[in-house]
């Protein structure tokens, strides 16, 4: 099966590294023109320069800070004044780690702005062109923790659960316009974010980060953590016509980590 996204335009959040970068690379390899979004302009330039390019493709980047809601809204609104997208991948950096006892109500508000309000605002802007064309793909990067909460990620557990239920509602509302909405429940992947979380957890437990990683792998039935490229393959499929009848789902990509149905 060949995935072709020729003629499609994609906007990918958090794409200067990790999972977002892998998604952007696979969408570009499948023929889409990709706009990257992240905070670090130097990293964005490097990623854009490395994206596969053939005739008709035009890649670009947008420097944004998802943690500055008002600044982000202005930046992304300006972008959509002269651009449109067919494929929207909602992905931001994760909020600070910590358990429920460590977090205050202000922390939840900040996480809500970061993980939920930026996504809803961007999606509202992207939908206009999708409705006009009677075709669109909205793909949300979420977490397995919405089904089985991780004690050290209280903010992510809470707000990403809201994101996934919102996405389910949206899928119903835009289905008649041939727009699909799906959420991906992310397991353990080889990213800088995982490395940072493991370092913090190791310090708390008085063990090495490598010991934390070994324990993490042991809990996954496939006995390894994921390669971000594997994530990109799933997103490219969901973005394609091959997945036109898949909507309103929450798809785990976790090597079998989730124990619940």
Give residue-wise pLDDT tens across range 48-106: 999 999 989 999 999 999 999 999 999 999 999 999 999 999 999 999 999 999 999 99
| Same structural domain, 60 and 171 | yes
Question: Does some domain include residue 129?
Answer: yes
Over residues 161-189, the mean pLDDT reads: 98
| Same structural domain, 86 and 155 | yes
* pLDDT band per the 50, 70, 90 thresholds, residue 11: very high
Question: Does some domain include residue 2?
Answer: no
| Same structural domain, 171 and 235 | yes
Residue 231 or 198, more confident: 231
| Same structural domain, 204 and 107 | no
pLDDT at 173: 98
Residues catalogued as catalytic: 152
Distance CA 12, CA 163 (A): 17
| Same structural domain, 63 and 159 | yes
Order of all β-strands in the sheet with 87-90? 60-63, 33-38, 9-12, 87-90, 136-143, 179-186, 250-253
| Same structural domain, 146 and 204 | no
CATH number for the domain harbouring residue 161: 3.40.50.720
88 within 8 A of 126, measured Cβ to Cβ: yes
Residue 182 bridge partners (DSSP): 139
* pLDDT band per the 50, 70, 90 thresholds, residue 26: very high
| Same structural domain, 130 and 202 | no
Place of tokens 């979420």: 142
19 within 8 A of 42, measured Cβ to Cβ: no
pTM of the model: 0.96
- Number of domain units in the chain: 2
Phi-psi region of 7 (alpha: psi -120 to 50; beta: other; left: phi over 0): left
Domain assignment of residue 209, given as a range = 191-225
| Same structural domain, 218 and 167 | no
Question: Does some domain include residue 132?
Answer: yes
| Same structural domain, 156 and 214 | no
């Amino acid at each position: 099966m060949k995935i072709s996204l020729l003629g499609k335009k994609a906007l990918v959040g958090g794409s200067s590294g990790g999972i977002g970068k892998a998604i952007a690379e696979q969408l570009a390899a499948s023929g889409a023109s990709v706009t990257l979004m992240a905070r670090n302009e130097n990293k964005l330039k490097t990623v854009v320069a490395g994206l596969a390019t053939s005739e008709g493709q035009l890649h670009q980047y947008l420097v944004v800070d998802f943690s500055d809601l008002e600044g982000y809204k202005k930046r992304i609104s300006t972008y959509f004044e002269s651009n449109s997208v067919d494929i929207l991948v909602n992905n931001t950096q994760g909020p600070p780690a910590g358990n429920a006892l460590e977090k205050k109500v202000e922390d939840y508000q900040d996480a809500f702005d970061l993980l939920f309000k930026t996504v809803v605002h961007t999606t509202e802007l992207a939908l206009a062109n999708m409705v006009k064309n009677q075709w669109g793909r909205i793909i949300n990067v979420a977490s397995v923790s919405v089904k089985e909460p991780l004690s050290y990620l209280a903010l992510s557990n809470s707000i990403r659960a809201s994101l996934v239920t919102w996405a389910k509602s949206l899928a119903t509302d835009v289905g008649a316009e041939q727009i699909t909405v799906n959420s991906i429940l992310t397991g353990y992947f080889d990213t800088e974010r995982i490395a940072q979380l493991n370092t913090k957890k190791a310090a708390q437990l008085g063990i090495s980060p490598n010991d934390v990683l070994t324990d993490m792998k042991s809990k996954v039935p496939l006995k390894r953590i994921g390669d971000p490229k594997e994530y990109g393959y799933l997103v490219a499929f969901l973005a394609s016509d091959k997945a036109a009848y898949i909507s309103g789902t929450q798809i785990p990509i976790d090597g079998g980590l989730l124990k619940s149905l």
